[in-house]
Amino acid sequence: MSKNKVNLDEVFLLLNEKAEQYNHPDFIELDPISIPHRFSLKQDIEISGFLTATISWGNRKSILNSAQKMLDFMDNSPYDFIQNFTEKDLKILENKAIHRTFNGEDFSNFLINLKRIYQSFESLEDLFLLKENETNFYHSLERFRTYFLRENSGRSSKHVSSTYKNSAAKRLIMFLRWMVRKDLKRVDFGIWNNLNPQYLSIPLDVHTANISRELGLLNRTQNDWKAVEELDLTIRKYNPEDPAVLDFALFGMGVNKDF
């Protein structure tokens, strides 16, 4: 279905209705966002959210179990652990399975990189800030990736997507939605105040992409960064202030076959 064969006004009426339905506290329990919802300290939310988003592919129950495995290793106090662990503490992660292709070595590298970052910055937000005239996170995500991996990358670099390689960067975009979006539903956290929600994009996965094509919002067949930008152009016309809220509609309709 192409855009010129649909009534986009009607499509967005439907999407707003579904966003209202799925952007609800009931959504939290079975979603990966439930992991950072266990915490109140900003840095705990960031760290647990970032690590959980990083492994958010595949079965949601499996994602939650794997995220819990990482929390258990960090004594369920991510920021305190990041500040105080030693290399000796990480030895136990050698040859350890975490989540599918994200293994103990990757987890160890991520912890080392996070420790370095928090020694210099109060918040991960500082690494995602947009520069003048930037209206999406294309360059921001690559700057974050470069800084995050600059001293300790190895095989773990494949777990931080590169927009410069045309990746849709679904997991990083989802993490940004969690941290930046703010509304009264309180599913997303909205704890980062220096980034404007109007610049967020839809985390493009199989579900959101397929529903977007069915609704005539997306023509591109590949789920890549060019598709993210194409979807941005349409969605921001109809919801310029909070485009990412429609992720709830697209994802919910896709995963629940509510279409």
Q: Helix/strand/coil (H, E, C) string of the chain?
A: CCHHHCCHHHHHHHHHHHHHHHCCHHHCCCCHHHCHHHCCCHHHHHHHHHHHHHCCCCCHHHHHHHHHHHHHHCCCCHHHHHHHCCHHHHHHHCCCEEECCEEHHHHHHHHHHHHHHHHHCCCHHHHCCCCCCCCCCHHHHHHHHHHHHCCCCHHHHHHCCCHHHCECCHHHHHHHHHHHCCCCCCCCCCCCCCCCHHHCCCCCCHHHHHHHHHCCCCCCCCCEHHHHHHHHHHHHHHCCCCHHHHHHHHHHHHHCCCC
Q: So what's the pLDDT on residue 198?
A: 98
Q: Which of 141, 164, 196 is the last residue of a domain?
A: 196
CA pair distance 227, 96, nearest whole angstrom: 36
Q: What single letter denotes the amino acid at residue 228? A: V
Asked if residue 257 and residue 170 are part of one domain, the reply reads: no
Residue whose entry in the numeric block shows the structure tokens 């939310």:
45
Asked if residue 127 and residue 37 are part of one domain, the reply reads: yes
- Give the global pTM: 0.95
Q: So what's the pLDDT on residue 255?
A: 80
Asked if residue 8 and residue 136 are part of one domain, the reply reads: no
Asked if residue 175 and residue 105 are part of one domain, the reply reads: yes
Q: So what's the pLDDT on residue 10?
A: 94
Asked if residue 122 and residue 246 are part of one domain, the reply reads: no
Asked if residue 136 and residue 37 are part of one domain, the reply reads: yes
Q: So what's the pLDDT on residue 1?
A: 44
Asked if residue 103 and residue 160 are part of one domain, the reply reads: yes
Q: So what's the pLDDT on residue 257?
A: 75
Q: So what's the pLDDT on residue 254?
A: 85
Q: So what's the pLDDT on residue 256?
A: 78
Whether 224 contacts 167, CB under 8 Å: yes
Asked if residue 177 and residue 67 are part of one domain, the reply reads: yes
The tokens for 249 are 């509609």
Q: Which of 169, 196, 223 is the last residue of a domain?
A: 196
Asked if residue 207 and residue 81 are part of one domain, the reply reads: no
Give the chain's residues under pLDDT 50.
Answer: 1-4
Whether 100 contacts 132, CB under 8 Å: no
Whether 209 contacts 218, CB under 8 Å: yes
Q: So what's the pLDDT on residue 259?
A: 65
Q: So what's the pLDDT on residue 2?
A: 45
Asked if residue 117 and residue 26 are part of one domain, the reply reads: no
Q: So what's the pLDDT on residue 147?
A: 97
Asked if residue 256 and residue 187 are part of one domain, the reply reads: no
User: Domain range holding 22?
Assistant: 1-30+201-259
Asked if residue 101 and residue 156 are part of one domain, the reply reads: yes
Number of domains in the chain: 2
Q: Which of 141, 176, 196 is the last residue of a domain?
A: 196
